[in-house]
Each structure stands twice: as C-alpha cells, then as structure tokens.
C-alpha cells in the first residue's frame, strides 16, 4: 500500500512497515504493506486533564508537577491539584493572527533553582501590525499564579500575516535552547543566512550564541542558526541515549517531513523567487548536499506537529519510538527508528479521531504523554498512559 494514497483513520491500530531505503533523488521513505498491530503493543488510557480551552498550543510540566499550557490567543494556564487557573503574564504586545500568537513553551532544566520558563510568541507594533516572533524568558512565582518577563532570548524572527510562524522550543542535553522557526511565507527566508526564518536556532538561555554553533563566526543574527532550509518546523524531539535531534515539519501540498537535524545542514526548502510552493520540500537538484528527510508523507500531507520520544517499559514495543501528532488526520503516529532511519509506523488507536486535531506532545518524567488538541474551541489537554502487555 502506498502511504500517499491515504493515512489510517480507523479505530484499530495499524502498522505500516516502511523500508529503510529512500528512493533515488528524494527523501521519501518507500512504503510497505499494512499489517496488524504487534501483540505487545501497549494498551493506552486517555484522560482529559484540562478542558474548555481555546486553540491550545503547547504543554509542559514543571518538576513539581504543575502542568502549564499556552493558548494561541494569549493565555498561559497552570493546572495542579488546586485546579486550573490563568497565570498573570504581561503579553500586551502579543500579535494574534493567522497561525501566530502565543505558541511554544519550555520549562528550564534548571527550573528548581531559577523557576524560569520560556515562551515563543508573536509581537505587534504600537499600531497593531505584526512586528516579529520572539522567544522570551519568564520567572514563574511559587504558586504558579503569575509570571514575570525577565528578558528576551531572541527576537527578529520574521512575520508577515502570521502564516508559518513556527514556533517550537526544546532544550538540548547540553542546556542550550533549540528554536524551530517558520519561513513566514516569504520565499527568501529559508536560504538567507541572515534571516532567522525557516531555520532552527541554538542559543544559551540568556540569549548568547554558543561558541560551537556551526555559524558562530558570522556577524549578526545568523550566528544563532543551527540548521537552515526549513518551511515550518512544528516538532522537535531529542532521542534518549543518543542526543540526536529529530524535527517534524509542514510541507506544502505534499511531503510533510520528519528530519534528523545535523548542525549546519541545509534541508533544501527554497520557494524563491516569490513564494512558489510547487518546489520540492527537499530540492536536491538545487542543493545537492541537502539532507533528505528520514520520512515524508507524500501526498496528501498529514500536518505533522509536535513530537516526543516514548520512554519507559510501560510503552512495550513502542519504547524508543518517535511519536508525532497530526493536525489533519486527528491522531498520533508512532515511528519506529533505527539510527537515523524510520523503519515502521504504528498509529495510536485510542487517539484516532475522538479528540480532533492534535498539536503538541510532551513526555513527562513518569513516562506519561501529554497532548494538546487544536480545534478552535473546547480544546483540551490529554494525559496518555501506557500499559504494556495489557492489550
């Protein structure tokens, strides 16, 4: 079965066995036949933890167990045993339009000492027009009732109407912060070394550029660039044990991509001049050294979004797999990976269709998977737990 002909949308778990070899000249992984789920696939329990949200975007959990959630419209919320409340945070400069607003959220790995969290959001001018996308640093108070903005990590990420605004945040094992950006639907950005659009950026939490960045010797904002040639990075996940960073990215009418990020690498998106979305996601004719995708959707796209690696014995056959949310197909794909290749795809039946569009995935220290829905209203935060051997 060719995966381009459609994605599984039933309530049964299916496995799509994928060959590890890409066809000549492209990054799309060849597809195999559809088979039943492995006998040791885990049973999943899905709990609605927070509901009545509007355009929920990201979710993170602090070491003390408080669940933080962003809504694209500008609310930061906290949930704990006391219930759900809005966190007072001064976002008066927020621009909300198209895909832009309050987006990515990440908790500092040093939260126990600093109580710092990081937000990615669009800003507006005094006249209300979109100004940029930026990452800011905040200090959360002890009761998670208020957050104070303490600094800007990076600003000047391009914005136009709000389309393709990114913006995913993920801390790396070395304590640096990775930022996945969108190309702002402006054709020159992905290949422009001085533009922060269509890139992943790597920075210290204080906004300084690490000396070992691949372009650290550049003057100006381009020193922060980690990888280039992206369209709209939506998911970032660090593989346990290896530290390898994987990304999930929206394609145009074809080829959503899962990529393995290598410092300094080009991923081949170049819609200039203008904004020509008929060009390949990874244009190997124009950029022979571009890195092909580890997996791509073909046609139609599935709107890949947040990503997380599954850890813990409770995940059974899925332990070590990469889970990726989908906005179009209203589910979560579980990708078996070996080294830098995708070798299989399973779908989580318990999340298929019942909760609508799914955006963000975050694995907590206990191995539970936190999920945000993105349906526009009555959105929710879900907690998914696995029980291997109980299926």
Residue 209 · residue 196 · CB < 8 Å: no
Task: Tell me what the pLDDT averaged over the chain comes to.
Answer: 91
Provide the percentage of residues in the chain whose pLDDT is more than 90: 88
Please check whether residue 327 lies inside any domain of the structure.
yes
Confidence (pLDDT) at 389: 65
| 14 belongs to a structural domain | yes
- Model confidence at 9, pLDDT cuts 50, 70, 90, reads very low
Tokens 């992206």 sit at which residue? 230
Say yes or no to pLDDT of 134 above 60: yes
pLDDT at 40: 66
Whose CA is closest to 160, among 195, 135, 133, 200?
133
Q: Is residue 25 part of a domain?
A: yes
pLDDT tens digits for 208-225?
999 999 999 999 999 999
Q: What does the pLDDT read at residue 244?
A: 98
- Average pLDDT, integer, range 373-377: 95
Cα separations (Å) of 149 from 34, 92, 199?
Answer: 50, 12, 25
- Please report whether residue 249 resides in a domain: no
What is the structure's pLDDT at 346? 92
Alpha-carbon span 261 to 256, nearest angstrom: 15
Q: Is residue 26 part of a domain?
A: yes
DSSP-derived letter for residue 313 is G
Position 189 pLDDT exceeds 50: yes
Average the pLDDT over 280-301 and give the result: 97
Read off the tokens for 5.
């002909």
Residue 272 lies in a domain: no
- CA separation for the pair 177, 334 (Å, rounded): 25
Write out the two tokens for 145: 């009732």
Q: Flag whether 9 is in a domain.
A: yes
**Can you tell me the mean pLDDT for 274-285?**
97
Predicted pLDDT of residue 23: 34
The three-state secondary structure class of 122 is strand
- The pLDDT confidence band at residue 85, using thresholds 50, 70 and 90, is very high
236/266 Cα distance (integer angstroms): 16
Candidate ranges 134-148, 343-357, 377-391; pick with highest mean pLDDT = 134-148
Banded model confidence at residue 88, pLDDT cuts 50, 70, 90 = very high
Reported pTM: 0.91
Identify the pLDDT of residue 37.
52
Structural domain of 3: 1-51+302-391
pLDDT in tens, 331-368: 999 999 999 999 999 999 999 989 999 999 999 999 99
The pLDDT tens digits for 233-277 are: 999 999 999 999 999 999 999 999 999 999 999 999 999 999 999
Question: How many structural domains are present in the chain?
Answer: 1
User: CA 183, CA 94: separation in Å to the nearest integer?
Assistant: 19
Q: Looking at the domain assignment, is residue 373 inside a domain? A: yes
């Amino acid at each position: 079965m060719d995966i381009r002909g459609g994605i599984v949308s039933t309530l049964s778990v299916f496995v799509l066995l994928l060959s590890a070899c890409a066809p000549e000249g492209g990054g799309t992984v060849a597809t195999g036949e559809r088979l039943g789920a492995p006998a040791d696939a885990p049973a999943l329990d899905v709990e609605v933890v927070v509901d009545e949200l509007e355009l929920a975007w990201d979710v993170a959990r602090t070491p003390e167990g408080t669940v933080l959630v962003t809504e694209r419209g500008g609310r930061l919320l906290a949930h704990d045993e006391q219930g759900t409340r809005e966190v007072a945070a001064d976002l008066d400069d927020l621009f909300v339009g198209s895909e832009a607003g309050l987006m990515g959220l990440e908790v500092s790995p040093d939260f126990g000492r600093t109580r710092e969290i990081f937000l990615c959001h669009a800003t507006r001018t005094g006249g209300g027009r979109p100004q940029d996308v930026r990452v800011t640093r905040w200090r959360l108070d002890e009761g998670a009732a208020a957050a104070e903005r303490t600094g800007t990590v990076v600003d000047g990420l391009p914005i136009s109407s709000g389309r393709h605004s990114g913006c995913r945040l993920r801390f790396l094992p070395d304590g640096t912060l990775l930022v996945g950006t969108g190309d702002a639907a402006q054709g020159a950005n992905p290949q422009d070394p001085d533009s922060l659009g269509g890139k992943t950026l790597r920075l210290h939490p204080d906004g300084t550029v690490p000396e070992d960045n691949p372009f650290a010797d550049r003057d100006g904002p381009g020193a922060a660039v980690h990888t280039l040639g992206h369209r709209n990075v939506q998911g970032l996940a660090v593989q346990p044990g290896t530290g390898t960073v994987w990304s999930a990215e929206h394609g145009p009418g074809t080829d959503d991509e899962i990529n393995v990020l290598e410092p300094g690498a080009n991923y081949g998106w170049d819609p200039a001049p203008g904004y020509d979305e008929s060009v390949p996601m990874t244009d190997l004719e124009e950029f022979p050294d571009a890195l092909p995708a580890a997996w791509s959707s073909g046609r139609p796209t599935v709107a890949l979004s947040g990503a997380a690696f599954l850890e813990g014995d409770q995940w059974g056959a899925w332990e070590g797999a990469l889970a990726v949310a989908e906005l179009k197909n209203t589910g979560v794909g579980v990708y078996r990976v070996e080294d830098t290749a995708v070798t299989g795809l399973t779908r989580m039946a318990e999340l298929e269709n019942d909760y609508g569009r799914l955006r963000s995935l975050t694995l907590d220290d206990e191995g539970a998977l936190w999920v945000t829905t993105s349906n526009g209203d009555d959105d929710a935060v879900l907690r998914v737990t696995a029980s291997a051997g109980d299926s």
